[in-house]
Amino acid sequence: MKPYNPAIAARSIRRCISQTSIRPTTHTRLAHRIAPASSRAISSSPSTRHNPTTSTGTVDPTEVSHFNALASSWWDPHGPSRLLHLMNPLRHTFITQCRSSDAPTSLVPQKLRYLDIGCGGGIFAESAARLPTTLSVTAIDPTPEVLKIAEGHKRRDPTLMSAGKLTYLNTSIEDLPLPASPTDAYDVVTLFEVLEHVNAPGPFLEHLLPHVKPGGWLILSTIARTWTSWVVTNVMAEDVLGIVPKGTHEWSKYVNEDELRGWFAKKHGWGSVKSLGVVYVPGIGWREVKGGEQWGNYFLGVRRDA
């Protein structure tokens, strides 16, 4: 645990105030946070750290560098990725809840195909590949050093080495080939703790949608852009407790649950939306909390109409 540093906390407060003091109206702010692909220019500068020379505009190169630096500690359950390890069981629980809400006829026993976007070192991808109901997992990430760790860890388990069981690809969602047809897409597309690290949430999500097959689910987790989340993630987790590496989160990139719901409501063919708020309790772990999606971490599941 790092000692409390008033100077660091003060700088974080001043930075946040300077970001929010120039915020325009609610409608204009929402347009900048989640813009449809047809309005890419609106969200072309959601972050001052964006590098306009990169070919994949929604991927922040600073974020890639940050997570490359954390690669070697990814599988340390007590290291910088500790909170991700603890959250993983809730990911599976939420996916099961979303799929179980489908009509019974759509739940005929089948082997599922997963696409895990921003897979990091493979915490979720490995666990999904081991499920008896899984046919295959394709996991992608733009950070090469992290994927080296994922590949190395995968080789420790012979059950993951069978052809097509778990495939890692060093690529961004923009560069991932589209499915030949909707039925060739994935049953479950996951996006865990990624949306808060991209430059333009709207264009980024647009690239995800074609990869979900009709009747399939897009499952994501992210952080609401509220004062509570700023205190928890930026001040407490990074500045005070030091349980998350400094610079992991940028509060202005967070996306609220109602913003996501509103964005998907305008998308034809995307019907059922489910959400679940979660909170981390020190010494206990992650717990579900009613209404938590309004002020902190939350899961969101969106079903593509069959």
Helix 61-69 vs helix 144-154: crossing angle, to nearest 10? 40
* Residues sharing a CB contact under 8 Å with residue 91, sequence separation 6 or more, in sequence order: 124, 190, 192, 219, 221, 299
Is the dihedral angle over the CA atoms 46, 50, 53, 54 positive or is it negative? negative
- Is position 192 annotated in a ligand binding site? yes
- Is position 116 annotated in a ligand binding site? no
Could you give phi then psi for residue 276, rounded to 5 degrees? Answer: -150, 120
Q: Tell me which residue of 156, 93, 94 sits closest to 122, measured CA to CA.
A: 156
- Is position 99 annotated in a ligand binding site? no
- Is position 174 annotated in a ligand binding site? no
- Is position 85 annotated in a ligand binding site? no
- Is position 262 annotated in a ligand binding site? no
Q: Tell me which residue of 182, 244, 183, 174 sits closest to 205, measured CA to CA.
A: 174
> Tokens for 90?
């809730």
Contact predicate 115/189, CB 8 Å: yes
- Is position 91 annotated in a ligand binding site? yes
How many helices (H) and strands (E) would you count in the chain? 9, 8
Q: How far apart are CA 234 and CA 53, in angstroms?
A: 28
Annotated binding site for Mg(2+): 193, 196-197
Annotated binding site: 91, 118, 141, 192-193, 196-197
Annotated binding site for S-adenosyl-L-methionine: 91, 118, 141, 192
